[in-house]
Amino acid sequence: MKKFIVIIISAIISHGCSTTYKKESNANDCGYINVQLSDNVFNVSFKGNSYTSRNTVNDFLLLRNAELALAYGFQYFTIIDTCDYTLNSNYVAPSITHTISSDYNYDHDYNNFFFDSENTETTGGQMFTISRPGASNTIACFNEMSETVFNHNAMFVYSKIRKKYGLAF
């Protein structure tokens, strides 16, 4: 059983413990995706892995919002819709059964002594639930601050979050 747990932990560690800030490469990957809905409106999503905190997911989502605003020549963005979610999946560890048999046969002057034992042990078969946090925003970008909605300064958000996570500028 201990060997099995060590193998599972090693596999998890080798897969990586933290989510990096990057574009999502496939549907099961961590990272951001975005879709432009109009000239200044975008839908942006970020998915983490099972080691990513909800705060990190929200920070990386805000970072991507700011990057899009700046990339399209806007100074400000406002979040017009938001959704937090969790992706859950189950993993069932494979079962392994070991049987150990012992047979002891002793014959001393026709005084027969027989010892027979068998021990069977099954490990594995446990179900693990893996939860991955995610979030999605629909943003509208502007070049002038609106007085009717809350605005994010794209450059301020971009620089603060990049500095917080030690990401290159």
The verdict on residue 116 lying in a domain is no
Whole-angstrom distance, CA of residue 136 vs CA of residue 90: 23
The separation between CA 13 and the C-alpha centre of its own chain, rounded to angstroms, equals: 12
Q: What is the DSSP string of 91-146?
A: EEPPPEEEEEEEEEEEEETTEEEEEEEEEEEEE---EEEEEEEEEEEEEEEESS--
pLDDT of residue 105: 64
The verdict on residue 8 lying in a domain is yes
* Domain count within the chain: 1
Residues 6+ apart with CB under 8 A from 39: none
Max mean pLDDT range (16-20, 21-25, 38-42, 129-133): 38-42
pTM of the model: 0.73
The verdict on residue 119 lying in a domain is no
Whole-angstrom distance, CA of residue 135 vs CA of residue 25: 17
Residues 6+ apart with CB under 8 A from 6: none
The verdict on residue 103 lying in a domain is no
The verdict on residue 50 lying in a domain is yes
The verdict on residue 80 lying in a domain is yes
3-12, 36-45, 119-128: which has the minimum mean pLDDT? 3-12
The verdict on residue 117 lying in a domain is no
Model confidence pLDDT, tens digit, residues 54-83: 999 999 999 999 999 999 999 999 999 999
**CB-CB contact of 91 with 134 (8 Å):** no
Residue 119 predicted with pLDDT over 90:
no
Q: DSSP character for 23?
A: B
Range of the domain at 50: 2-90+128-164
Whole-angstrom distance, CA of residue 122 vs CA of residue 96: 6
Whole-angstrom distance, CA of residue 75 vs CA of residue 142: 6
Q: How confident is the model at residue 100 (pLDDT cuts 50, 70, 90)?
A: confident
**Dihedral over Cα of 142, 136, 81, 55: its sign:** negative
